[in-house]
Amino acid sequence: MKVIIPLAGKGTRLRPLTYVRPKPLVKVAGRPVMSYILDDLEALGVDDVIFITGYLREAIEDYIRAEYPSFNARFVEQKVQDGTAGAVNLARPYVDDEVMIMFVDTLFDADFSLPARMPDVDGILWAKEVEDYQRYGVIVNDDEGFMQRIVEKPTEPVSKLANIGLYYIRDWQLLFEGIEKTVRGDPGPGGEYFLTDAFQYMIDQGARLKTAEVEGWYDCGKPETLLETNRHLLESGRGARPPAAARVTVHDPVRVEGDVRLENCEIGPNVTLGPGAVVRASTLRDAIVGGGAEIEGCDLHDALVGDHVRVRGVRGSVNLADHSEVRGE
């Protein structure tokens, strides 16, 4: 099986953090977002992974080569941001087998044994039932749980099964036939071509695409959802308390790397501190702080702080890219 991972987006909703760091390498609970998915692929024994890169691609390529040398990794640059169908289409010359497509804006708890247990389906689309269905593309199924269509941001509750960007396609030839038809047509909003249109083509040709629900789905694409996902991971085994120290108060869950310095401070709940960070005379809650950052005399919440950032005398929420410096009055 081949795996396609589109990574070309600019991560605009996480700016300014993503001005200097590609979104897949933004850290949550102490690790880059994409590492959780790549670990799953390694555990599955996947060898061939096609990465569709674009924005800050060198950083992504360097990370994958250094941290995942077991992959037979191929990098293809998406020079024109023409949508999800355009991105996946770039992998076409390298696909000659069943394929899995994974978007790394989110983390998920999915059963990857389903393809082997469903040999008669042409593909599987994983989904998650949500209450705020108006925010998502939702999958409308028939009575047997096979996709009929995907409706983008419906105003009526035609379905609450959100499309989460995780797909297995057994009939890869029909998939690329659908992609070719899609990209030869008129683009949608923003000049983009959508992979969901290729899935609709497959269904119209008689393909059976099964919808499977994931147990968990955790968004990493916005500051507020990144912090929510950080909390989930800390509560699910990624937490690490610092040694007890005088004048240091800790409220679980937190993750504090071993060489962090804490002085006269209160941290947590939901705080991750990267290696070499220093927190002095400050209070932190709901915050992700990068390696080598220094925080002094602050009261921060709902905060994203990049690597080697210096923050002094600030109260409230911040979102700071690497090597920034902010001083309050």
pLDDT digits (tens, 9 = 90+) for 302-321: 999 999 999 999 999 999 99
127: nearest Cα among 214, 45, 198: 214
Quick check: 133 pLDDT over 80? Answer: no
Separation between Cα atoms, residue 242 and residue 261, nearest integer Å: 10
Quick check: 205 pLDDT over 90? Answer: yes
**DSSP result, 229-265:** HHHHHIIIII-BPPPP-TTEEE-SSEEE-TT-EEESE
Separation between Cα atoms, residue 229 and residue 231, nearest integer Å: 5
> What would the mean pLDDT of 274-299 be, rounded to a whole number?
96
> Where residue 215 falls among pLDDT bands split at 50, 70, 90?
confident
Question: Are residues 126 and 113 in contact, defined by beta-carbon separation less than 8 angstroms?
Answer: no
For helices 172-184 and 195-204, angle between their N-to-C axes, nearest 10 degrees: 120
- Please, where are the H alpha helices in the chain? 33-44, 57-67, 84-89, 114-117, 172-184, 195-204, 223-233
Q: What values do phi and psi take at 52, rounded to 5?
A: -95, 105
In the block, which residue shows the tokens 């850290």? 27
167: nearest Cα among 135, 139, 127, 134: 127
> What would the mean pLDDT of 111-122 be, rounded to a whole number?
89
Q: What's residue 105's pLDDT?
A: 79
Q: What's residue 154's pLDDT?
A: 79
Specify the 3-state DSSP secondary structure of 46.
Answer: coil
Strands 319-320 and 299-305: parallel
Q: Which domains does the chain have, with CATH numbers?
A: 2-219 (3.90.550.10), 240-327 (2.160.10.10)
Mean residue pLDDT across the chain: 91
Question: Are residues 165 and 105 in contact, defined by beta-carbon separation less than 8 angstroms?
Answer: yes
Find the range with the poorest average confidence among 187-201, 243-257, 267-281, 284-298. Answer: 187-201
